[in-house]
Amino acid sequence: ENYHAVLAENRRLYNEVQDLKGSIRVYCRIRPFLRGQNGKQTTIEYIGEDGELGIVNPSKQGKDGHRLFKFNKVYGPAATQAEVFSDTQPLVRSVLDGYNVCIFAYGQTGSGKTYTMTGPNAASKEEWGVNYRALSDLFEITQSRRSSFMYEVGVQMVEIYNEQVRDLLSSDSFMCFGVKSFVFLNLHTLGILTTSQPHGLAVPDATMLPVKSTSDVMELMDIGLKNRSVGATAMNERSSRSHSIVTIHARGTDLKTGASLRGSLHLVDLAGSERVDRSEVTGDRLREAQHINKSLSALGDVIFALAQKSSHVPYRNSKLTQVLQSSLGGQAKTLMFVQLNPDVNSFSETASTLKFAERVSGVELGAARSSK
């Protein structure tokens, strides 16, 4: 009945759980209606200042149609790329102090994952997503610290498609896109990774390339993106049916003492989370969908186990969680962007995305609480 009482109770419960974990953050972002979408029919009912989100089920009358969620942050359709990044920046910066950071974007195809992570147009700085902003911020800091620290930065990019890991920066890809000026280095050669060190991807053969500037990385990411497996689906032609992981490794050496620090940043654009109707797809499409579902739920299980400080974390259940194992948990920091399409027609996907988000954040508020 009383929205504010419910809010207060949700907030209390949420803060209680948040205090227990600290290393997992969930930010929810609602994209605007696009041209051609009916802007009046939205499932989003309420966006609170403290990360509350209220949604309404268009096909349920009365109180039961309303639900309330609570996340670390909720960004409405008007939030700018700069605003979103400002809350992510401290996390990104901690990489240079030796932390492992994983940033994910989760949501149905067309909900804005790529917009948030990469942005719609690399040529327009204003529209840059988290990836490019993070990189330029990191390079700026390494520059400003150069009298006392020497940083080496390397990049890897892999994709996971049908539970197979593919190196998106292998020398073959360079030949095919005509870029031959980079020195090819195996990650061991660069010395940032050694087999015993606990950071980074569990893909020993993935090509790692040294980079000196944001534009070096942008060039590499562009090549990597062209190599991703993309296929057309009914929902979105550009939809990607694979997970892509861009990893930035940074090793800093203190010029006075010679001591060194290693940190890594994983930027993960997940495959679309939409459920596919078994009756509509067969063959390759069905197999893709099954692999995607399996890996996303394995990811959810891992993050949930970490949030609960569970003694068993089920990393082995998917390639995605295996590859990221050393960068999830322990001292690592995880941020999940949960992306929503506000359209009523997306209600069931929105509800299942929020269910996933609620679970990974370790707090399940439940429908009952918002309809006392």
Does the protein bind ligand ADP through residue 115 (CB under 6 A)?
Answer: yes
Question: d(Cα 313, Cα 320) in Å, to the nearest integer?
Answer: 14
Does the protein bind ligand ADP through residue 120 (CB under 6 A)?
Answer: yes
Q: How far is the CB of 342 from ligand ADP (least distance, A)?
A: 10
**Which of 110, 200, 263, 300 is the binder for ligand ADP (CB under 6 A)?**
110
Does the protein bind ligand ADP through residue 300 (CB under 6 A)?
Answer: no
Q: Name the closest residue to ligand ADP (Cβ).
A: 112
Query: Is there a contact between 341 and 111 (Cβ–Cβ < 8 Å)?
Result: yes
**Which of 32, 76, 210, 231 is the binder for ligand ADP (CB under 6 A)?**
32
The pair of three-digit structure tokens given for residue 83, joined into one six-digit string: 């605003």
118 vs 318 by CB, closer to ligand ADP: 118
CA distance readout (Å), 83 to 29, 78, 102, 133, 140: 11, 10, 19, 11, 19
Q: Counting every residue, how long is the chain?
A: 372
Strands, E assignment, 92-228: 100-106, 149-161, 164-167, 209-211
**Which of 25, 113, 133, 243 is the binder for ligand ADP (CB under 6 A)?**
113
Does the protein bind ligand ADP through residue 111 (CB under 6 A)?
Answer: yes
Question: d(Cα 181, Cα 350) in Å, to the nearest integer?
Answer: 45
**Which of 5, 8, 20, 34 is the binder for ligand ADP (CB under 6 A)?**
34
Stretch that binds ligand ADP, among 53-61, 109-117, 242-250, 301-309 (CB under 6 A): 109-117
232 vs 367 by CB, closer to ligand ADP: 232
**Which of 10, 109, 233, 327 is the binder for ligand ADP (CB under 6 A)?**
109
Does the protein bind ligand ADP through residue 239 (CB under 6 A)?
Answer: yes
70 vs 113 by CB, closer to ligand ADP: 113
Q: How far is the CB of 84 from ligand ADP (least distance, A)?
A: 8
Amino acid letter for position 174: F
Question: d(Cα 31, Cα 283) in Å, to the nearest integer?
Answer: 32
Q: How far is the CB of 31 from ligand ADP (least distance, A)?
A: 3
Question: d(Cα 216, Cα 234) in Å, to the nearest integer?
Answer: 35
Which residues fall in the annotated binding site for ATP? 107-114
Q: How far is the CB of 347 from ligand ADP (least distance, A)?
A: 17
Question: d(Cα 331, Cα 309) in Å, to the nearest integer?
Answer: 12
The answer to whether the Cα torsion of 97, 100, 106, 110 is positive or negative is: positive
Kindly report the backbone phi and psi dihedral angles of residue 213, in degrees, each rounded to the nearest multiple of 5, phi listed first: -155, 165
Does the protein bind ligand ADP through residue 72 (CB under 6 A)?
Answer: no
The answer to whether the Cα torsion of 183, 184, 185, 187 is positive or negative is: positive
111 vs 173 by CB, closer to ligand ADP: 111
43 vs 111 by CB, closer to ligand ADP: 111
75 vs 315 by CB, closer to ligand ADP: 75
Burial category of 33 from C-beta neighbours within 10 Å (exposed 0-12, middle 13-18, buried 19 and up): middle
114 vs 370 by CB, closer to ligand ADP: 114
Q: How far is the CB of 86 from ligand ADP (least distance, A)?
A: 15
Query: Is there a contact between 264 and 200 (Cβ–Cβ < 8 Å)?
Result: yes
Pairing of strands 24-30, 333-340: parallel
Total number of residues binding ligand ADP (CB under 6 A)? 15
Question: d(Cα 355, Cα 372) in Å, to the nearest integer?
Answer: 20
**Which of 7, 28, 31, 243 is the binder for ligand ADP (CB under 6 A)?**
31
Burial category of 352 from C-beta neighbours within 10 Å (exposed 0-12, middle 13-18, buried 19 and up): middle
Q: How far is the CB of 251 from ligand ADP (least distance, A)?
A: 31
Q: Which residues bind ligand ADP (CB under 6 A)?
A: 31-32, 34, 107, 109-115, 120, 236, 239, 339
